[in-house]
Amino acid sequence: MSRYFTEDHEWIDVDGDIGTVGISDYAQGQLGDIVFVEVPDDGRQIAKGDEAAVVESVKAASDVYAPVSGIVLEGNPALVDDPSLVNSDPEGEGWFFKITLSDTAELDELMDETAYAAFVAKL
Amino acid sequence: MALNQSGWRPSTPQQGDGAPATFTGNRALMLEEPLIFEIGSSETTGVDFASAPSPHWGEGRGEGQGSHREAGLDETPAPHPTLSPAGRGLGGLERTAPIGLAGLSEQETVRHYTRLSRQNYAIDLGLFPLGSCTMKHNPRLNEKVARLPGFADVHPLQPVDTVQGALGVINELAMWLITLTGMYGVAMSPKAGAHGELCGILCIKAALEKRGEGHRKVVLVPESAHGTNPATAAFAGFTVEDIPATADGRVDTAALKARLGPDVAAVMITNPNTCGLFERDLKEISDAVHAAGGYVYCDGANFNAIVGRVRPGDLGVDAMHINLHKTFSTPHGGGGPGSGPVVLSKALAPFGPLPFTARTADGYVHLIEEERAEEFSNEHFDGKLDSFGRMTAFHGQMGMFTRALAYILSHGADGLRQVAEDAVLNANYVLRSLEDTLDAPFAASGPCMHEAIFSDRGLADGFSTIDVAKGLIDEGFHPMTMYFPLVVHGAMLVEPTETESKAALDQFIGALRSVAQRAKAGDMALKTAPHFAPRARLDETLAARKPVLRWKPPVAAAEAAE
């Protein structure tokens, strides 16, 4: 299983053609305390770069973009009751949704962990 | 006294410096005030009503017992087993349990709200630095004029002949707004800025549909625009696309031009923008948008900085709302209501909402409603008047029209011009006085317009804009606009307006500098500020995650907890 990052601070873990998407630790730190998360409906077809989810903190509401194209398998039901999971475990329990990738080649355009760390260091 | 057991409770004030606790919890004139439900109860009442006459006079109707009218109302029949007379007409929806409103005497009620008002901040108490809100002084002359009985005591359904003065005010204000903006027409009825935006966008939608180009579904919104703009476009059924800002805080004109095409309905641009900067390329942008078949909406919330100096119509704007409650000094921030007339270009004016006023050569002011629209269209619009409908039931915020016109007439054209000049001067004074202490990301972009913007760069680790804002509360100021616009990290947006004196500005600048220096030095006391407010730092996260939206009586709250 490998992890990729976008410049908009989403991460995706890929296992076969199934991806798990969330926002990075850097992103949750910038947003501050998360108070609400809206995850996409099961079965929704989304294209890479589409607005897939909404995350709202005490500061602002932000869109979470789909890092790849595909069909949504499921949203993380735990975030509805406990959005603070995004703060406490952004790259684990605080995942947003799972997606069936329609084109694994799209992953080539994303950053790996090292490249993302370098990207964040420059911000 | 019943205590609120419904959940989370704000922290109580801190007793500073070993001051003794008081029996009441009051600290001299800083009074502790419970919720109104905790003071009153549904068993008490502020008014003693006489006992109601027997409600059962209609009893037995239709049961062949004869009319109670004939029997006389003084005669008391047997009570109906279930329904009171009021309930008979309600189809079984009659209330069966107490409504639970708190009963208080008039004095208790007046004291409750007066005490609460003393914990509030207001423009009449001090400088209100909220950026993009134009919290300027509300002149008392406006209030005097608005209270004249001929304006205050009229009804919107009165015959037009009897309200010529009031309609004349609407019409004259409309002419001023058209003249000041260099536009062709104006819709006076929208009731706030965002309502005005919706009105303008609906005009654009109607114009596109009239042209058979309803397929144009994209509205472009730059990052430097107001947050309501994308919401308005989405609400009207359009798809919103962002246009990036340049490093100097303005619209990326090249990126905007590159995105124009046959699917673009309009561009919504805020000028001056939320970075406090004048969009210098607006004319070039308008020309490009028009050439591509789209319309230009300008958010006029920040018109205060350019009124009397720039006419948006000259810059190719097709629609722009004007917040009378900002630029034209009518009250807002709780003292409202707002009012958001929309000026329209010649291309959009025919699609504006009904009703509107029109003064004929004989001086008579007509109110053009649906039934007269066609006749008026033929006379004045070559038959092209094609209103999209209505925004409101009546003509708009009459009380704000009288105030705004009083403001305009008392200032005159030269006075309004000075308003813009002084507003810009004051904002630049704030910007240049604080740029040595706070990071000013657009300080090199030239003079700011109505507002100065700072970022949280340079604050100590773990300190953010929120801590500066809370520190300002202890200094006796309402905080500035925070974390907006999003293009600036930890944005602090300060709009002093022209009505503040240099002494007031110096005091505010001194306070903000002091708080900023504490945040840069990592003063931990700032993390728990405010210390002198009626409540210490509130838990905004808990309030957002688990909001307590409604007071519950202690019994219900206890049951709910079980």
> Are B501 and B421 members of one domain?
yes
Query: Using the beta-carbon criterion (under 8 Å), do A36 and B544 form an inter-chain contact?
Result: yes
User: Has residue B90 been placed in a domain?
Assistant: no
Is B78 part of a structural domain of the chain?
no
Q: CB-based contact (8 Å) between A47 and chain B?
A: no
Confidence (pLDDT) at B557: 67
Please give the tally of structural domains in chain B.
2
Complete DSSP assignment for B352-421: PPBPEEEE-TTSPEEEE-HHHHHHHHHHHSTT------BSSSSSS-HHHHHHHHHHHHHHHHHHHHHHHH
As a whole number of angstroms, the distance between CA B542 and CA B549 comes to 13
**DSSP-based three-state secondary structure for B200:** helix
The domain boundary, picked from B404, B432, B449, lies at B404
Q: Is B235 on the interface with A (CB under 8 A)?
A: no
Phi, psi of A59 (to 5 degrees): -90, -45
CA atoms within 13 A on the CB side of B208: 26
Identify the CA nearest to B385 among candidates B395, B371, B375.
Answer: B375
Residues B247 and B214 in one domain: yes
Q: What is the pTM of this model?
A: 0.86
Identify whether B43 is part of a domain: no
Can you say whether the dihedral through the CA atoms of B324, B326, B331, B337 is positive or negative? Answer: positive
Query: pLDDT over 70 for what percent of chain B?
Result: 89
Selected for mutation to probe chain B from A26, A55, A59 (highest B CB count within 10 Å) is A59
In a domain, A111, yes or no: no
Same domain, B285 and B386: yes
Which of A36, A56, A58 is opposite residue B540, by nearest beta carbon? Answer: A58
A123 contacts in chain B (CB < 8 Å) = none
| B456 shares its domain with B521 | yes
Q: Is residue B247 part of a domain?
A: yes
User: Would the CB atoms of B540 and A33 count as touching at under 8 Å?
Assistant: yes
Enumerate residue ranges in chain B where pLDDT < 70: 1-18, 52-88, 334-335, 556-557, 560-562
Measured distance between the N- and C-terminal CA atoms of chain B, rounded to whole angstroms: 23
Residue A44 counted as domain residue: yes
**Together in a domain, B362 and B432:** no
Instruction: Give B45-104 pLDDT, tens digit per residue.
Output: 888 877 766 555 444 444 444 444 444 444 455 555 555 555 567 787 877 887 778 889
The verdict on residue A95 lying in a domain is yes
Range of the domain at B263: 142-404
The alpha carbon of residue B537 is apart from the nearest alpha carbon of chain A, in Å, by 14
* B28 is a domain residue: no
B544 touches chain A (CB under 8 A): yes
In chain B, which residues have their Cβ closer than 8 Å to the Cβ of A35? 541, 544-545
Residue B102, pLDDT score: 86
CA distance A106 to chain B (A): 23
- Residue B298 within a domain: yes
How many residue pairs from chains A and B have C-beta atoms closer than 8 A?
A: 20
Per-chain mean pLDDT for chain B: 89
Q: pLDDT tens-digit profile of B136-195?
A: 999 999 999 999 999 999 999 999 999 999 999 999 999 999 999 999 999 999 999 999
Whether B21 is covered by a domain: the verdict is no
Residue A81 lies in a domain: yes
- CATH code where residue B481 lies: 3.90.1150.10
Q: Which residues of B touch A32 (CB under 8 A)?
A: 464
Per-residue confidence (pLDDT) for residue B225, from 0 to 100: 86
Domain shared by B395 and B434, yes or no: no
Query: Do B361 and B468 fall into the same domain?
Result: no
Residue of chain B whose Cα is closest to the Cα of A50: B241
Does A58 lie at the interface with B, CB-CB under 8 angstroms?
yes
| B423 and B362 within one domain | no
Per-10-residue mean pLDDT for chain A, 123 residues long?
Answer: 92 95 95 93 95 90 94 95 94 96 94 95 88
- Count: domains in chain A: 1
CA distances from B305 to B184, B188, B191, B447, B501 (A): 22, 22, 22, 12, 17
Are B373 and B461 found together in one domain? no
Same domain, B360 and B427: no
Each residue's pLDDT tens digit, B9-50? 455 555 455 678 899 889 888 899 999 988 888 778 888 877
Q: Domain for residue A77, yes or no?
A: yes
ipTM score for this prediction: 0.79
pLDDT at B83: 53
When scoring B274, B481, B545, B546 by the number of chain A Cβ atoms within 10 A, the one with the most, hence best to mutate, is: B545
Domain of A17, in residue numbers: 2-103
pLDDT of residue B534: 86
pLDDT of residue B173: 98
Q: What CATH number is given to the structural domain containing B208?
A: 3.40.640.10
Q: Is residue B58 part of a domain?
A: no
Output the domain CATH number for residue A41. 2.40.50.100
